Structure 1
Amino acid sequence: MNKTLLTLLIFLFLHCLSYAQDETKRLKIVSIHAGPAMSSFINAEAPHKTFIFSEDYTIPAINPESLEHDYDVNMWRDARLNLVAGISFEYFIKERLSVAASLNYEGKGIHIEDTNTDVLTQDTYTQVHKSAYDIEINNQYLTLPVFARWYFGGSNLFYVQGGMYMGYLLKSEIDINILEGVASNYYSDGSPTLTNADEINVMEMHVYGEDEDKDYTNNFDVGLNLGGGLNYPLGEHFYLNVDLSVCLGLIQLDKKNDNDYEVTPLPWGSGYTTMVRSANYYGLNSKAKNISGALTVGIGVKL
């Protein structure tokens, strides 16, 4: 199935390249392009903020709430810097109207960096709870955007565009670091701090790896593609292209889970009161979807 989807993407792009070869009077441009991109997830914050990486997503707990982590997600702040590069084909139906397709390598994902500090002061002691989260998900795709462009302006240099894209997952990696700890001072005038993992009552987690079999992230992504740019002629046969695009994913990223959450009481004497099962997308929302924006610069040649 995965090879079939990849073959379909390449076939559709090659079909666009060979389309309407007999229409010799109509302008056709092939270009290569590259540039930076920023990506994030829509609806990334999980309903239950747990990071359980056991095979069956279960863990014993005295208090289920103790497994929850207080990270915050901001779609713009947590954007991840990526690269987009590829080749595109543009075919002019009319003077101001064209259809275009690209075959791109494109990185997507999210990078959450969040630190929280809570201070509890009582008559006899002060307690500081500090948590630090560094959650990075790196998904790499082969994408096929297909869109229509409408040119405007006196020289038809500028355009707006809209269409759809399809993406095939090439690689998926995670790098998750969590540090949580509590420092206490039993004097009301004290000011305890938590600065590193040498402090007492510290929990530290580091998970890094690649989803080689693509069990956790959907192999296929589909979404909307909107944007604009310019095609500036460089002589008779070449063009400079500057393109700004935004892609909104329509398919949830999680392939395996769906924010499943269940708390089961355990018998007395086990040392724990409950067994918690929480299955999400690496601690984030299983319903999360891709969002990305790219600014590319390319050189095109007229066929």
Structure 2
Amino acid sequence: MKKLLSTLILVLGLCPAAFSQTKGSTEFGVTLGYNGSTVTTTNTNADYRSGFNAGIGGEYYFSDSWGFKAKVLYDQKGWANGYIGSTITNFNLDYLTVPLLANWHFGHTKNWYLNFGPYVSFLTSAKTAVNSQDVKSIFNDNDAGLDLGIGVKFPVSGTAHFFIEVSGQGGVIDIAKSNSGSTISNSVSAINIGLNF
């Protein structure tokens, strides 16, 4: 997995950048946003945890309407006022997330877009709010699921676009290692801003 992630970062960094949405061009960007995360389960309380995400991405255009987008994000997930066992606390789970998305551009100027596809996440830390207790050992190292988003781009120069994007992630993997009850899966809603060039 680490080799796959390293290769993806290298490819995103070495591909030649072009500055128009034409067939065969590549666009890069940086993004920063707010995460509202929780978990879907019937066996524990699951309020929303506020966090953030930040990362880089690249999109290769097959046409003026379709592209393939990949991102690498530092992604704060988890949930608030929950429990595993008898302790009620906030669970702060931090991931490195890699979404691999089909990107459909629409509208008269093709500045609106809808993206969808799978993601995979790699757990970097897991702590409780109570005494900042390290609980990484009780969670699986990986998470995966589906990512869906919609956004709009605004030209700020001949080669750069500011964007606003709303997205969501729905996990399909049980994130707890030893779970005798129902499955615990990540669920995230995010709003992001960024710059493509």
TM over 0.5, yes or no? yes
Shift of 1:7: 3.2
Q: Residues 113-192 of structure 1 correspond to what in structure 2 (within 5 A)?
A: 134-176=88-130
Q: Residues 170-249 of structure 1 correspond to what in structure 2 (within 5 A)?
A: 170-176=124-130, 208-211=132-135, 214-249=136-171
Question: Which residue of 55, 71, 75 corresponds with 1:86?
Answer: 55
Q: 1:224 to 1:92 in 2, by over 3 A?
A: same
Partners of 2:146 and 2:10 lie apart in 1 by: 21
5+ residue gaps, structure 2, are: none
Q: 1:161 to 1:221 in 2, by over 3 A?
A: same
Partner residue of 1:183? Answer: none
Partners of 2:125 and 2:133 lie apart in 1 by: 11
Check whether the contact 2:58–2:70 (CA below 8 A) recurs between aligned residues.
yes
Shift of 1:19: 5.6
Tell me how many residue pairs correspond in the alignment.
Answer: 191
Partner residue of 2:179? Answer: 258
- Look up the SS of the partner of 1:11 in the other structure: helix
Partner residue of 1:299? Answer: 195
Deviations 1:161-217 (A, max 9, x none): 1001111110000135xxxxxxxxxxxxxxxxxxxxxxxxxxxxxx65113xx3211
Partners of 2:154 and 2:188 lie apart in 1 by: 25
- Look up the SS of the partner of 1:291 in the other structure: strand
Partners of 1:147 and 1:160 lie apart in 2 by: 10
Instruction: Compare relative contact order (CA 8 Å, sep 6+) and give the higher one, 1 or 2.
Output: 1
Shift of 1:246: 0.4
Partner residue of 1:100? Answer: 69
Partners of 2:34 and 2:119 lie apart in 1 by: 18
**Identical-residue share of aligned pairs (%):** 26
TM-score normalized by the length of structure 2: 0.87
Moved over 6 A (4+): none
